[in-house]
Every structure is written in C-alpha cells, then in structure tokens.
Structure 1
Amino acid sequence: MSGPKDLDPSSSPRALLGAELRHAREQKGLSQAELGQLVFVSGSFIGQLEAGSRRMQPEYARLLDEVLETAGFFMRNCKAAATSKYPAYFVDVAELEAQSTAIRQYTPLLIPGLLQTAAYARAVNRAYDPTTPAETIEEWTEGRMDRTRLLDHPTKPLLWVVLDEAALRREIGGPAVMAEALRHVAGLVRRSRIIVQVLPFSAGEHPAMQGALKLMEFADAPPLVYFEGVRSSRLEDDPATVTQLRFVFDLLVASALSQGKSLALIEALAQDYVHEDHP
C-alpha cells in the first residue's frame, strides 16, 4: 500500500495535513484522545490539528511520524503548512483570533494589538527592536494592521478588553500618537463594536498583576487561553486552567470602571494628550 503523498503548498496545506493526520490515525484505530496521549498533547489539540486550525510544529510532526509510522511525511510537510507573515511564536494566535467567536483580554502595559493604530504599532515595534531596519518595522506594522481588520465585521468576534490605566498613561510614540490611539479605541466603543473597561490604579491589587492574558472561544472547538512574554508565547487548552483564568478575567471586570466611566476616562486622556502636543 502506498504512503501519503507530499502536500501541494499552493493548496490549503493545513487542511490537507489535517486530513492526512485523521486518515493515518483512523488507520491505526486510535481515537483523538488516544493519539494525544501517545504524543503528549490533549485529544482536543489533535482535533484542532486535524481541522487545520492549529499549526503542526516540527516536534509534534516528528512524534506523529513515529507513532503513526508515516515515514517522515508530517516532518516533510511541516514547512508547507507553516507559511505565515507573523513571527513564529505568534502564528497560531493570529490565526486563532480570526476563527474565534469571542475574545476576552487583559493588558497591563499596552493597548492590545487588535486596537492599535499604525503609528502606535510602529512605535511599539521600534521599541521591541531598535536596530531593526525601517522596512522590517513597516512589514511588522502592516502585519499588525492586517489583524485589526478582524474588527471590520460588525459583530464578530465579541471583543471584551480590560485595559489597565497604565496602558493609557504610558506615552508610546509621543502625545499625538497617544491621542490618536485613544480616540481610535473610543471610536470603536462608541460604535458598539467592542467592550472596554479600564482597571484604575485605585483598584489596588488584583489577580492578574503577574501579566497579560487572552481568552478565546470558538464555535466548534474548546476555549483557549494565551499567555505572552518577551518574544515568546504559550497557548493552553487545559479545561481547568481555562476555567480558572476566566474567573480571573471576571474578577478584573468586577474591579474595573463601568463602560461609561471607562469611555469618559479614555476620551479625557486623549484630550490631555492633544493639549500636551499643542500647548
């Protein structure tokens, strides 16, 4: 019996790779959960690979080839399925955002990427790597702006953001850039496209002081939580972890300003930045 054929990169490589994974798993008589145990991931993760919603990384491809005896097929085809304009550590997150039905996010220091303006994103990218050529900074900025087009849809996904007051007061790119950025956020709120609440300094201690978090929900897959660090990231689908961090987000919402007071603060700070730029 002939083995699976290498994938055509011009087609939908992730979907084809997922279909081949499902075929190879069923040939072995394994459930998604059973295969997940053999390669040290959850059954839902295998399901996401088969659906093409998660990128197959080389370490998983190697294990799958060993367990399913596919003669290196998955390793050979990883590169075809991994093409993306985003940094390697962020590829899965950007694509999962586009598939999500709801995103709940807390950011302690920055306006999140989906809400950024080009000027704000450019300043952030430059700060991340001051020695990067200008054309590379522009490519990164364009990639981030591509992500913001997710909000062109009038209702999907639901985006609920808790912004720490520090993210509003940390001056990124100068007063004019901050004024534009905050007005952009306020505009999205006023168009009822997003929900934004500000977690004020006066709230004191809170359960997410150790960092940012993003929860994503899907129509046909389990929810995920995303953690981001310095040029690194991690996706977690463990149900207990996701449930615990959803509770953390709910606590942040309870401590944050109301939507009306949050919008008033954002617009007031935007006006302050305008005055700072034009004394």
Structure 2
Amino acid sequence: MANGSRQAAWEFFGTELKRRREDAGLTQAELGCRVFVSGGYIGQFEQAIRKPQLDVASRIDEILQTDGFFERLWRKLIVDQPYTEYFAHVVELERLATEICEYAPTVVPGLLQTREYARAVFLAGNPLSPDDHIEDLIKGRMDRAQLLKGAARPRYWVILHETVLRVAVGGPHVMAHQLSHIAAMARERKMLLQVLPFATGAHREMGKMMKLMSFDDAPPTVYTEAVLSGNLLDEPAVVKRTRSSYDLIRAAALSPEASLTLIESAAEDHRRCASAT
C-alpha cells in the first residue's frame, strides 16, 4: 500500500469500527469494557488518532463478530509498513516536495544510499533480525531512492559533514562504492552537493540532522530525528529558524566543486584501504 493512502486507510479502519459498533448496539464505553480498554480509547481509534494493538484488534473482531476483518486490516497497515511509523509521513511528503534541503552529520541520507550501504546500516541497528526482514527494509529504502531518478524529481540540496565520508560503514569496499555513487549523482546534476569539512570546527547545529521540504501549495516543513523518534514540524517560526541554521551550514561548507573533489578523494582512500586488506 502506498504511504500516501495509509492515513486514509486508518481513517477507513476507524469509520468501519464506528459503523460496526453502532450496528451491534454498543456505545464506545461498552465496547471498550469488553475489549479491556477505555471508551475514550475506542473513540480515538474511530477518529484515527490512535492505532490499536494487535490483541485489541483481535478482541474487537470477536466482540463485533467481524470474522477477522480488523485483525487483517491491522496486519496490512502495521506489518506491511516498510517504514517506521514516525517516518512514514515524511516519505509521503518527500514525494510531494518541490525542494528538499538536507544536512547529514553522520550517515549518508537514505535517498542517496546504495543497497550495500543500506544493508550495513540496517544490520547494525537490527543485528538479530532475519534476512527477509532486512531485505524488506532495504527494498523500502531503495524504493525511496527512485524519487531522484524521475523527470519530476524535486530540487535536492544536500550537505554532508566530512564524518559521513570517513566512517567506513560496511567496510572500505562498500564505502568506496557509496561515495562513487554520490559523486556520480552530483556529476549527473541530480542534486546540489556540498561537504562541511572537519576544518570548519564548531557550528550551530553540530550532530543534528535536518530535512527541509518545500511545496507548491502547502507550507514548508522541517524534519529532525532522534533515537527511535522523529519530529515533523511546520510551525512557521521553527521552520524559519531551521532554515537560518541550514543557511549558516551551507555558507560554511565547501563549494560544490571542492566538495566533489573531496568525495572522490575519500572514495579513493577507501579503495586503497580495501585493496590493502
């Protein structure tokens, strides 16, 4: 299911829950009591504000005698989701954006990752996950990357901290290929690319990734990420301040030409390291 329709599907879940509850002659409080949650919680499910746990969806099926309908829909919306819940809406907005400006302080942005680099990242975060789960995660990331290959792609401006170039994610061979891929994308003019070198020293947003997205018919947004969480913000003052921070980083970064030279030099360093092992 496309991410753009996922929220609508949750709204459908809520509408169907309300309809079938009322057909059964139950109030929200009465249904909540029977499935061991509050009536207010049922109301939040019906408004698509909250999403039920699987055991709650299963109990709703039992009480409303819906032959597994809500459990099947839950599994489609949760288990088949290729992105974490906090990031799914960001993926949807990426597809609608006319411009994406991104600062990456530690890791190559998902839109630029190669399959091998993505695998290394996912394995590091999910060391005990089965191969098929890792492959699903990689597929979701590679599908996202198609955004930059179409004729209607957004204007993409990315700034990488030099740390991104030096940490050998997946080993030197994987890293050399990853940096060559980034250089090729820049040479093909599919994005504007800059590197913030170590020599810059301290700056306003050290260690903080940021993604700014602009749209033709909607206010701009900012996305930032922390441990197992993300913040998607559209409050004008916050967006303005983040844009100011991005502009300061951009001013301190190397020119596109010098950035490309540094990336290609780093790729060669990784290749030499791979050959030596």
Q: Partners in 1 of 2:170 and 2:7 — Cα distance?
A: 38
Write out aligned runs for 1:237-248 (5 A): 237-248=234-245
- Equivalent in the alignment of 1:86: 83
Write out aligned runs for 1:99-114 (5 A): 99-114=96-111
Of 176, 185, 189, 1:188 maps to 185
Secondary structure of 1:278 counterpart: helix
- Equivalent in the alignment of 1:120: 117
TM-score (norm 1): 0.73
Of 230, 233, 240, 1:233 maps to 230
Q: Partners in 2 of 1:75 and 1:216 — Cα distance?
A: 25
Write out aligned runs for 1:198-217 (5 A): 198-217=195-214
Secondary structure of 2:142 counterpart: helix
Of 117, 136, 144, 1:147 maps to 144
Equivalent AA in structure 2 for residue 186 of structure 1:
A
Deviations 1:8-64 (A, max 9, x none): x9xx56458889xxxxxxxxxxxxxxxxxxxxxxxxxxxxxxxxxxxxxxxxxx79x
Contact 2:104 2:209 in 1 (8 A): yes
Contact 1:154 1:193 in 2 (8 A): no
Q: Partners in 1 of 2:196 and 2:213 — Cα distance?
A: 20
- Is 1:218 matched with 2:215? yes
Shift of 1:154: 3.5
Greater Rg by CA: 2
TM-score (norm 2): 0.73
Equivalenced residues, count: 222
Segments of 5+ residues of structure 2 without an aligned counterpart are 13-39, 53-72
Aligned CA-pair RMSD: 2.7
- Equivalent in the alignment of 1:266: 263
- Equivalent in the alignment of 2:47: 74
Contact 1:161 1:195 in 2 (8 A): yes
Of 126, 130, 149, 2:127 maps to 130
Deviations 1:191-219 (A, max 9, x none): 00001100000001111114111111111
Q: Partners in 2 of 1:140 and 1:246 — Cα distance?
A: 30
Equivalent AA in structure 2 for residue 215 of structure 1:
L
Contact 2:102 2:211 in 1 (8 A): yes
Equivalent AA in structure 1 for residue 275 of structure 2:
H
Flag as ranges the 4+ runs of structure 1 deviating above 3 A: 12-19, 75-82
Secondary structure of 2:47 counterpart: helix
Flag the 1:234–1:278 CA change in 2: closer, same or farther, 3 A.
Answer: same
Flag the 1:88–1:228 CA change in 2: closer, same or farther, 3 A.
Answer: same
